[in-house]
Structure 1
């Protein structure tokens, strides 16, 4: 017995030591690529830190003309690089009885969308369907040359098209979308149109959505219809927006419509080829490839891509390194590898970093976060762009990139301004490194409905007063972006002003809203808040080229903390039936919400 026990202990010791050694070996592979040099922090206020219009290596055409368009508009510009603004139907369209509205209305007294019941006229979103000119005028005034928007599949195709799409199309909706697209172009902007943006028709959800292969044919037919009716107005097509985020939160954690609680079996197999994630991502990849060909059949000059969410995932402790490596493998290149032969551009949606542990997604006290729980890390945008270019430049030498989303939830508009400046500096550094980036699109114009977080996070450059007929009020960041867009420059003075304003607030003990549920161990969960808590603005210098990661000693010490948290979780679970009721936390949030 003693010999057997000794063997067991020896085996476990070897396994533990081997795991720790593996973690140490993997640490150097966590980074994409070091940021080049140290950025100048002081100097003359008119020193140019970034010049997008003269320094861009973009070889895209300087003229975009659709001679067959109803408006007859031909856009001509000498600015090769473009700036834009973005939105999506489920975020902003009123009179849209979609899966998200049904989800938000709740059932059995439960309301899975936060900051919904306590907000005036939530179902009207931003009235982009009935009053699109309000938003479009703000977009035009910002000076951008590209507007990203979408068409809602379920609004156009109202029932399952068993006998063909023509039998179930709402032509009034088609005509209204034409009017909106014409309104965009009449304001001198190009159109980047998204076909699928986190919203699946009710009829498709009823049979399992993207886990069923028949959805591939339905979506391909929808894309063909869209090209026929909207193609003359579209300059760039995005087939899918962040599908792996949609699939994880819909089919694995079930924190998005239709909601529910996944079974243990479904959770265990979700990321295998036989699980919801594996099946849905395979179908989406096949659908993109088919739609790419369809759009090019209708227009040989069509520019077709995707919008892919990439966050920089980091370990909280040393023992969390394998978890981070697996998460990166799952979400970074896997999907783009599957569709790389059918891309004219790769859109990158980047918001920041996520610090992961075996105990959950961590809310680190000395790191800065948006109201939605996204960690601030400007260097990451540079790292991601360089990593993607290095991976695909030989496989697809002509592949271009567009930053299709980047933004920050900040009702006070105190952090958003330096966030914007620092990410533009990171983007400019990637361009100078040789990454062929054609444009930058900021998310978003006006505070909107943010999926399961409802109206709590404020991502807008513009504030919408929901209690006062949705009256709009531009924030200082709107005017900062306007300055950059019109000049194509980021100046030292703009950087200093944005950062110094933030630091003055820090010295005064500045606080701001925070919309993410967390616990006593500083873990963040998928659940948002109806009423935000407050969080102190951190003093850490997170600017581009200045940000410093935690050292190895900190990673080691945090591992003991994680072990302690997991031990408490286990004890609580074992004693759950005792006098002190213990309930397992909601699903861990992975990726963008």
Structure 2
């Protein structure tokens, strides 16, 4: 008896700026190099995935993955307004062809946090024609790469783009303005609709949105906490899910879940730290596996098929990652048993990489990367554990004792633990 069907999608996720290296023409590169921002270090060379994508995809296929989520870098493809790079589009055509050749189903994100420098300079998501500009970009990508993109995600975590960039100042453009926070959220929803229409006009891809859905709760049972909790729940969860209606909502929905969060108007960032004794990650995030089940049920109310497009833990102790996988995959299996239509699980992340303002310190990867020694890739025990689940569809396979022939990737150039 298996816990997941044979056609379930198993894999992991990356984003261009976090792994490629050398994305110097976007707003994040500027943010990283401004000492006045929250960024701790530069993305630099990333993990050199721009040149090593072929061997990386072969490694992931050898680890039992049958799907992979990645993004295309807007600033490479459209380095100036309306000017599209044939070389960049050709590069991503080679990338997606390599992914297909390894038998991995592609989930291609069009916007994963980074904006071209020229677009950011004219207002980014607050520009009056932001949705139209994103639609133009989406149409060009779909027209050129659509035959290699079975799944397209328009925007990664629009709520976090708005929250981190316009209210918390933690991401570009580094603003702390509640009015602009809400306006950015509205613009991102409009851009999603524009992206859906553009992709459908140019390609047969199944198009959707990826939303991060933390399990929110008031920090205390008082009126101020409850009021702010209602506001934050609306602005982070309900606004985005309740607007996914009608023909332009998309064909599927990506759910990204990491943590439970406590809302507190007395906290400087409006979120209180987890209560004492709560298990936390390197990021300080509260580990709460059942929150994944609960938020899948919430997302299911949209009526769209679901894919978990991100879920993972930042830790230097890989035994914690194996336990995180065990508890969160069990929550996912329970949601499916309760009738939620979840069709895949893409772990964050495939590789240890650049974690935005936190730099390279947090370790989210199934595969370690030694940036000081030619970016050598080393699969962690958690990578092999997830491989056993992917190959068998059985949750209990996660804790099986590894066998060298079953678990070892086929790539001789990759070091193994």
Could you state the TM-score of these two structures normalised by the residue count of structure 1?
A: 0.64
Is 1:189 matched with 2:104?
Answer: yes
* 1:187 CA displacement: 0.6
* 1:339 CA displacement: 3.1
Return 242-251 or 445-454, whichever deviates more: 242-251
Measure the CA separation in 2 of the matches of 1:316 and 1:282: 27
Measure the CA separation in 2 of the matches of 1:103 and 1:280: 18
Measure the CA separation in 2 of the matches of 1:353 and 1:437: 21
Measure the CA separation in 2 of the matches of 1:385 and 1:318: 26
Give the alignment partner of residue 211 of structure 1, picking from 122, 126, 133. Answer: 126
From the CA coordinates, give the structure whose radius of gyration is larger.
Answer: 1
Measure the CA separation in 2 of the matches of 1:218 and 1:356: 35
* 1:494 CA displacement: 4.2
Residue matched to 1:382: 293
Give the alignment partner of residue 277 of structure 1, picking from 166, 170, 181. Answer: 181
Gaps in structure 2 of 5+ consecutive residues: 403-417
Answer whether contact 1:316 1:362 (CA < 8 A) is retained: no
> Which residues in structure 2 correspond to 1:151-550 (within 5 Å)?
151-160=72-81, 165=82, 168-259=83-174, 262=176, 267=177, 270=178, 275-299=179-203, 301-319=204-222, 320-341=225-246, 342-360=249-267, 361-389=272-300, 391-392=301-302, 396=303, 399-491=304-396, 494=398
Answer whether contact 1:212 1:280 (CA < 8 A) is retained: no
Q: In 2 relative to 1, CA 292–495 (structure 1 residues): closer, same or farther, beyond 3 Å?
A: same
**Cα deviation digits, residues 261-310 of structure 1 (max 9, x gap):** 64xxxx3xx2xxxx2122222222222112212222223x4211110000
**RMSD (CA atoms):** 1.9
Answer whether contact 1:288 1:339 (CA < 8 A) is retained: no
Gaps in structure 1 of 5+ consecutive residues: 1-47, 54-78, 499-593
> Which residues in structure 2 correspond to 1:64-103 (within 5 Å)?
79-97=6-24, 98-103=26-31
Q: In 2 relative to 1, CA 483–148 (structure 1 residues): closer, same or farther, beyond 3 Å?
A: same
Q: In 2 relative to 1, CA 340–84 (structure 1 residues): closer, same or farther, beyond 3 Å?
A: farther
Is 1:144 matched with 2:96?
Answer: no
* 1:363 CA displacement: 3.4
> Which residues in structure 2 correspond to 1:90-129 (within 5 Å)?
90-97=17-24, 98-107=26-35, 110=36, 112-114=38-40, 116=41, 122-129=43-50
SS at match of 1:410: coil
SS at match of 1:148: strand
Is 1:51 matched with 2:3?
Answer: yes
Q: In 2 relative to 1, CA 247–437 (structure 1 residues): closer, same or farther, beyond 3 Å?
A: same
Residue matched to 1:30: none
* 1:448 CA displacement: 0.4
Residue matched to 1:544: none
Answer whether contact 2:28 2:115 (CA < 8 A) is retained: no
**Cα deviation digits, residues 86-111 of structure 1 (max 9, x gap):** 1001111122113222221224xx56
* 1:142 CA displacement: 1.4
SS at match of 2:276: coil
Answer whether contact 2:162 2:182 (CA < 8 A) is retained: no
Answer whether contact 1:285 1:339 (CA < 8 A) is retained: no
